[in-house]
Structure 1
Amino acid sequence: MVNVKQSFVIKPGKPTPSVSMCVSELDQEKHITHALIVYFYRPPSGSFSFTLASQELRDSLSQALVHFYPLAGRLHFIPGSGGRVALSCNSSGAIFYEARSSAKIEDFSDFSLPDERRSLVPEVDYALDLHELPLLMVQLTELGCGGISLGMGFSNIMVDGTCASHFIAEWARIARGNPIENQPFLDRSVLLAADPTPPPRFKHDRFEPNSLLIGQSDDQEERNKKITIVMLKLNKNQVQRLKDLANETRPTYISRPFSRFEAVAGHLWRCASMARGHQPMQPTKLYIPVSIRGRMPLPKWYFGNAIIKQAASSNATELVKWPLSYACGKIREAVEVVTEDYVKSALDDTKRQPDLTPFRTSHRIGSTTGSFDGNPNMEIFSWLGIPFEGLDFGWGKSIYMGPAAINVDGKSIVSSCEGEDGSLSVALGFQMAHVENLKKYFYQID
């Protein structure tokens, strides 16, 4: 459906520092793959030229990379370091593709065509050596309806959602003819572990083995099961009802009401356990990436991963039989432990791991490497509060943005429905055998 017409290497428009740069302990924990997102735009005005728009986009990207020059570099493994990486700021450049598709915007309104949606973002051959992989990939696609899609892939080691949003916003400002507004803070050494590295002061379970399905000795069978991508949408009234249900039975020792994210996450966790048919004493974890911005002193506009992965834990009986407030309380408990001292202890814990290779999350069905956070577990990302929506490069604001692919069981992303006040969407990778049950339970809100 998508044909790539041209490819370009986009380098910074001016000389930038040619240096080797450390990455933080939080960067080191992340997987080698890319986070893939895509924006959609309605057909621009009659005077619009796709060729000219592509040229302007490439020129503005070149200017943006002057300020965000680490994204034009390459990562490489440090020999004898236990799978750790370093960054070479060498201006190797970002990759930019021009493409054309006969599809219409409406064809991508959900994940009913997952392969076609994935094709709106450049492919990556992870069999290549790490130092050959671009850290930023862009694809501008002219659609059959006259609309446009803009797909991007960011190295997970280089950025979290907040950083990606910051970069995209500044790139769009430059494309519209404006100067950069917020310079990134590029020194990642502020999140390095202490030297010498003391023992952790808190219990951290990020590197402990995941729960397995009762009766299984490993996760290989679950890794190989077919998944599909499910789009679950909640209108404003449904979101409010979940919040009300969560807070009606909130324990008195939890003073602050549960948020809409906690309510939706807790509900999804419970529904997933029921849909998967877990045995009563099945252990299950919900992984929540927690931002440390605002939880410890960090330079404003810090450009690097500032996310720590936390786990809420339960068994299937307690999770399903107890009220929604139980699941929400477990999530709150896992998140609120993240303080400045806790983060510093976590950095030290990462530094003390002899080999990080076994923990790098896999993003391919059937892969036997990396941690597996699927059945009986799951992971939920919140894009709420991250200003991804309404991006304008000069041809109007986007009408929709979202993930281009989810390639692992149990991974979900909660985001606002663009243009719909108060409504939320959940994009979820889930084993095909359990999808219908999941939908049934998810919309039983009472």
Structure 2
Amino acid sequence: MGSCGVLASVKHKSIIAAALPVQDQWLPMSNLDLLLPPIDVGVFFCYKKAMPFDENVTIVKKSLEQALALFYPFAGEVVQNILGEPELLCNNRGVDFIHAYADMELKNIDLYHPDDSVERKLVPVKKQGVLTVQVTELNCGGLVIGCTFDHRIADAYSINMFLTAWAEIAQSKQISCLPSFRRSMLNPRHPPVMNTIFDTLYVPISTLPPPGSNLPANPLISRIYYIESKDINHLQSNSSLNGNPKKSKLVSFIAFLWKIIAECNDGHDTCKMGVVVDGRERLDNKINLDKISLSNTKSFSMQNYFGNVLSIPYGKANSSALKKMPLSLVADMVHEFVCPALSEEHFRGLIDWVELQRPAPAVAKIYTKMKETDDEAVVVSSGQRFPVESINFGWGKPDFGSYHFPWGGQTGYVMPMPNVRKKGDWIVYVHLLQKHLDLVETKGSKVLKPLTPSYLEF
């Protein structure tokens, strides 16, 4: 299927502030927020049929006003404090809102090539503030809602919480998960405990090559694929052979992808695979509920925490060895490097490590490239909690939803998400170098298949 770009014309721009007067306040970044550079993340939802356009936009705007009263950081601005660190000014500046129109049908939007069809067209560019929203009408009566947000303020779990609440408000439903902004939940210990393991996972930004250095800047390219449930199950079966404990579907997929990337004959002897780990479940263990009444316990849970609670452990392996290994052994390697991050101590240690670096900023090491000969690297982030089915503003659940994260670095990024219309299937957003995409489409073509309107039944 050839690439089909989208030409969206802007009908109206406005700024949506919180419905209730929000008192100005400062919200500090947690130590885990400080590990994120200033990058933006996109997310979008496609609806085949919606209400009359004016009604759609009114519903989305009104519910957004109310959602921002609860999720007020999204209506604020990021500023620098006296130490030069980012800090959130919750001043109800508001969210830039774009009402657009594209003279095309949903079935003709080439979602397989999101750089052409989605980037800056259906998912807006954020110029100011923390969040930008765009609603695009289509001539078929369909609708696309796209959002771009500052990753320093929210991880995927947090934006999912916001999107779900926003849709619940639109339908006058009770909000299922109220946000908590209790930064004290991620305070460092006193004194902080130094663990040098984090020197291998994170690196001070001051040690990186300056912008504009001689490192090659090969552009990464975005694609969206799908995987059928039978192929996911087959990967899981193959990764659990030879008496090995049963691996998760995600670990099995990561092992499969690592083997594909290792096939690249580009002079690199080794390649790295990173995995984004959410620490909420790990940190819930130690919240002291003794002095909190039972009625308030839920609001103190890390499951309500809004912000970044992420770590990115990674593994490094010889490419030739990876190619020869059975999938089950590669899955064992993935399990081995991820396991240490699945603990409360890992996240407490990471919080302490950042505290000992401050105010010097740091970043995940796998996202950095110090010199041209550094290993190629890919990071996988699970989007299995992506609540596509819940993003119903009153005219039905989306027919398609995906993240869109062309983040601009040299490390590949892959995010598998559930398919809202075909239970058990996955939608996979991929942002990779061309040479790695070529391998995905040859070595991995029986599993990862290009997204088409016929598959989506548009």
**Structure-1-length-normalised TM-score:** 0.85
SS at match of 2:280: coil
Question: What are the Cα deviations for residues 146-204 of structure 1, in whole angstroms up to 9, with x where unaligned?
Answer: 20000011210111111111111111111112343332111123112224433227455
Which residue in the other structure is 2:239 paired with?
246
User: Aligned AA for 2:225?
Assistant: L
Give the one of 251, 262, 283 matched to 1:273: 262
Which residue in the other structure is 1:112 paired with?
113
Structure 1: which 5+ runs fail to align? 126-132, 211-217
Q: How does 1:294-309 map to 2 (within 5 A)?
A: 294-297=281-284, 298-309=301-312
Which residue in the other structure is 2:48 paired with?
42
CA contact (8 A) 1:358 1:371 kept: no
Which residue in the other structure is 2:247 paired with?
258
Distance between the aligned counterparts of 1:142 and 1:182, measured in 2?
Answer: 30
Which residue in the other structure is 2:98 paired with?
97
Which residue in the other structure is 1:123 paired with?
125
Is 1:419 the counterpart of 2:414? The answer is no
Which residue in the other structure is 2:167 paired with?
172
Distance between the aligned counterparts of 1:311 and 1:11, measured in 2?
Answer: 40
SS at match of 2:283: coil
CA contact (8 A) 1:19 1:90 kept: yes
Q: Which moved more, 1:329-338 or 1:143-152?
A: 329-338
Aligned alpha-carbon RMSD (Å) = 2.9
The structure-2 alpha-carbon separation of the partners of 1:154 and 1:135, relative to structure 1 and needing over 3 Å to count, comes to same
Distance between the aligned counterparts of 2:366 and 2:330, measured in 1?
Answer: 27
Is 1:397 the counterpart of 2:400? The answer is no
Distance between the aligned counterparts of 1:430 and 1:178, measured in 2?
Answer: 40
Is 1:20 the counterpart of 2:42? The answer is no
The structure-2 alpha-carbon separation of the partners of 1:285 and 1:437, relative to structure 1 and needing over 3 Å to count, comes to closer
How many pairs are equivalent? 415
The structure-2 alpha-carbon separation of the partners of 1:8 and 1:356, relative to structure 1 and needing over 3 Å to count, comes to farther
SS at match of 1:359: strand
CA contact (8 A) 2:203 2:363 kept: no
Distance between the aligned counterparts of 1:143 and 1:442, measured in 2?
Answer: 34
The structure-2 alpha-carbon separation of the partners of 1:79 and 1:309, relative to structure 1 and needing over 3 Å to count, comes to same
User: Aligned AA for 1:277?
Assistant: N
Report the CA distance between 1:311 and its aligned residue: 0.9
Give the one of 28, 48, 72 matched to 1:69: 72
User: Aligned AA for 1:15?
Assistant: P
Q: Which moved more, 1:422-431 or 1:3-12?
A: 422-431
The structure-2 alpha-carbon separation of the partners of 1:223 and 1:402, relative to structure 1 and needing over 3 Å to count, comes to farther
Distance between the aligned counterparts of 1:185 and 1:166, measured in 2?
Answer: 11
Distance between the aligned counterparts of 1:122 and 1:361, measured in 2?
Answer: 29
Distance between the aligned counterparts of 2:212 and 2:261, measured in 1?
Answer: 18
Q: Which moved more, 1:417-426 or 1:89-98?
A: 417-426
CA contact (8 A) 2:274 2:366 kept: no
Distance between the aligned counterparts of 1:219 and 1:333, measured in 2?
Answer: 36
The structure-2 alpha-carbon separation of the partners of 1:271 and 1:421, relative to structure 1 and needing over 3 Å to count, comes to same
**Structure-2-length-normalised TM-score:** 0.83
The structure-2 alpha-carbon separation of the partners of 1:236 and 1:42, relative to structure 1 and needing over 3 Å to count, comes to same
Report the CA distance between 1:92 and its aligned residue: 0.8
Distance between the aligned counterparts of 1:202 and 1:267, measured in 2?
Answer: 27
Q: Which moved more, 1:290-299 or 1:102-111?
A: 102-111
Distance between the aligned counterparts of 2:360 and 2:416, measured in 1?
Answer: 28
Distance between the aligned counterparts of 2:150 and 2:326, measured in 1?
Answer: 39
Structure 1's consecutive aligned runs of 4 or more residues displaced over 6 angstroms after TM superposition are 218-222, 360-363, 368-372
CA contact (8 A) 2:35 2:362 kept: no
Report the CA distance between 1:16 and its aligned residue: 2.2
Distance between the aligned counterparts of 1:370 and 1:155, measured in 2?
Answer: 25
Is 1:331 the counterpart of 2:334? The answer is yes
Give % identity.
21
Q: How does 1:166-245 map to 2 (within 5 A)?
A: 166-200=161-195, 202-208=197-203, 223-245=216-238
User: Aligned AA for 1:246?
Assistant: S
Report the CA distance between 1:412 and its aligned residue: 0.8
Distance between the aligned counterparts of 2:371 and 2:94, measured in 1?
Answer: 30
The structure-2 alpha-carbon separation of the partners of 1:300 and 1:407, relative to structure 1 and needing over 3 Å to count, comes to closer
Is 1:443 the counterpart of 2:454? The answer is no
Distance between the aligned counterparts of 1:306 and 1:418, measured in 2?
Answer: 26
Is 1:345 the counterpart of 2:349? The answer is yes
The structure-2 alpha-carbon separation of the partners of 1:326 and 1:78, relative to structure 1 and needing over 3 Å to count, comes to farther
Distance between the aligned counterparts of 1:222 and 1:241, measured in 2?
Answer: 40
Is 1:359 the counterpart of 2:367? The answer is no
Report the CA distance between 1:357 and its aligned residue: 4.6
SS at match of 1:442: coil
Report the CA distance between 1:291 and its aligned residue: 0.9
Distance between the aligned counterparts of 2:104 and 2:190, measured in 1?
Answer: 54
Report the CA distance between 1:418 and its aligned residue: 2.3
Distance between the aligned counterparts of 2:114 and 2:333, measured in 1?
Answer: 35
Structure 2: which 5+ runs fail to align? 1-6, 206-210, 285-300, 448-458
SS at match of 2:14: strand
CA contact (8 A) 2:381 2:416 kept: yes
Is 1:291 the counterpart of 2:278? The answer is yes
The structure-2 alpha-carbon separation of the partners of 1:432 and 1:221, relative to structure 1 and needing over 3 Å to count, comes to farther
The structure-2 alpha-carbon separation of the partners of 1:187 and 1:398, relative to structure 1 and needing over 3 Å to count, comes to same
Distance between the aligned counterparts of 2:358 and 2:114, measured in 1?
Answer: 42
User: Aligned AA for 1:259?
Assistant: S
Question: What are the Cα deviations for residues 348-392 of structure 1, in whole angstroms up to 9, with x where unaligned?
Answer: 1112225655638999xxxx99999x9611111111133233421
Give the one of 426, 431, 434 matched to 1:432: 434
Which residue in the other structure is 2:148 paired with?
153
The structure-2 alpha-carbon separation of the partners of 1:192 and 1:103, relative to structure 1 and needing over 3 Å to count, comes to farther
The structure-2 alpha-carbon separation of the partners of 1:300 and 1:318, relative to structure 1 and needing over 3 Å to count, comes to same
Q: Which moved more, 1:222-231 or 1:421-430?
A: 222-231
